[in-house]
Structure formats: C-alpha cells, structure tokens
Chain A
Amino acid sequence: QVQLVQSGAEVKKPGASVKVSCKASGYTFTSYGISWVRQAPGQGLEWMGWISAYNGNTNYAQKLQGRVTMTTDTSTSTAYMELRSLRSDDTAVYYCARVYDSRYWYFDLWGRGTLVTVSS
C-alpha cells in the first residue's frame, strides 16, 4: 500500500526543538521528493520546504531558513523535519507530502499529519 506514515503528536515548550518523521512505503522512496506543509489551527496550508530523497538536496521556505532542517534516511525510507527555537505560532499540524516530480511540485500523496503544540 502506497502511504506516508507520520510520527505521533508532540507537545513542546517555547525554545525547544521538534523532529517529525515520515515513513514511506509502497513505492521507491528515492524516486520522489518530499515536501513538508504545515497548517495552523483553523488556517490554510503553508509550504515549509522540500528534500530530494534521491540526493538529499533541500530547499526551505525563506521565513524558516535557519530554524528548519529536512533529512532523509534511505535505508528506512523515512524523511524527517526538525524545527528549532519553537514559538507559539509554530503550533500546527505538520504534513509530509510526496512531490510528483522534480519539475512539477504538486503533492500526490500525503501523510495524515502530526500535531505539534508549543506551549509553556
């Protein structure tokens, strides 16, 4: 079954870091990129960045530069997103999504999301 399975919900204090995982199955992991998209409560979708599962190249949203790191482990077909120096406005559901291909960055497969709550 083609799917992306994400790690469970997290509660973090301001200033802490969080690392969310996204395990792919049912397809060749290195043939696609992975993007991360977040959604604050009651809000729309915000693209965070992209990583090539083939060679690890990354591209991050400008507003998150310096706070976010995306990595992959091809041995386990897992993508990771680490966000540091968490603030209350980072509270959101974080989705991983498969990028259709390197030219056409739309998302044809999504994980179910990971709720990250930042609260003191």
Chain B
Amino acid sequence: EIVMTQSPATLSVSPGERATLSCRASQSVSSNLAWYQQKPGQAPRLLIYGASTRATGIPARFSGSGSGTEFTLTISSLQSEDFAVYYCQQYNNWPPVTFGGGTKVEIK
C-alpha cells in the first residue's frame, strides 16, 4: 500500500497570500495524483487530477505540480472561501487508493 504524507499539517496564511501545500508518496505514483478540498460539514470536492489538471469549474488560482513522489498544490492568492482542509490521493497503484492525512489552511 502506498503511503501519502502531507505537510504541513496546518498552514496559516493571510488572505491574498500564496499557499503552498506538499504531498509525498512512499513510492512513485507517476502523475496519478488528485487533490481535494473539504470545508467543514461538506463532502470533499475534486480540485486537481493528473497532478496538474484542474477539474471543471475550479478557479485558475489553484495549480498542481509534480510527478513521481513529490507533489505540490499552490493557491496563488488565497480567498476567504479557500480556507479549508486539502487532501491528496494517489490512484496509480490500486487497490487501495490512498489519501494523505490532510493540510488545514487557516486564516493567519
């Protein structure tokens, strides 16, 4: 089973600033990585798939990069609605698909 590790666990950012979230896989997952956003009391929402492709309706301020074992989600200018928990998920070696433990982006 591939272990996904996200860092940091919590990221404190001011509105308008840039946020950079990291996700590391215990072995290569090629570009088969997705990012999700989850707000309190809501289901996760797909943001990015294929490591760098934005899902339908996702604003351009969200971007993903990386391949192999190291991945990054960047939010270029944080808006109030972006404060949430973000999860990465690998789907290269399945089953099982596996999720990272999440990064909470909070208001500084």
For residue A31, give the distance in angstroms from its CB to the closest CB of chain B: 17
Complex Cα gap A95–B99 (Å): 14
Cβ–Cβ contact A113 & B34, under 8 A: no
Residue A110, interface by CB 8 Å: yes
Interface string of B62-102 (1 = CB under 8 A from A): 00000000000000000000000001010100111111111
Complex Cα gap A49–B97 (Å): 9
Tally of contact residues, B, Cβ under 8 A: 23
Residue A111, interface by CB 8 Å: yes
For chain A, the bracket of interface size reads 20 to 34
Residue A105, interface by CB 8 Å: yes
Q: Chain A residues near B107 (CB, 8 Å)?
A: none
Cβ–Cβ contact A110 & B44, under 8 A: yes
Complex Cα gap A97–B45 (Å): 10
Residue A61, interface by CB 8 Å: yes
**Chain A contact residues, CB within 8 Å of chain B:** 35, 37, 44-47, 49-50, 59, 61-62, 95, 97, 100, 104-108, 110-113
Ordered by A's residue number, 24 sampled pairs between the chains whose C-beta atoms are within 8 Å are A44-B99, A44-B100, A44-B101, A45-B36, A45-B99, A45-B102, A46-B99, A47-B97, A49-B95, A50-B95, A61-B95, A61-B96, A62-B96, A97-B44, A100-B49, A104-B50, A104-B91, A105-B97, A106-B46, A106-B91, A106-B97, A107-B36, A108-B49, A110-B44
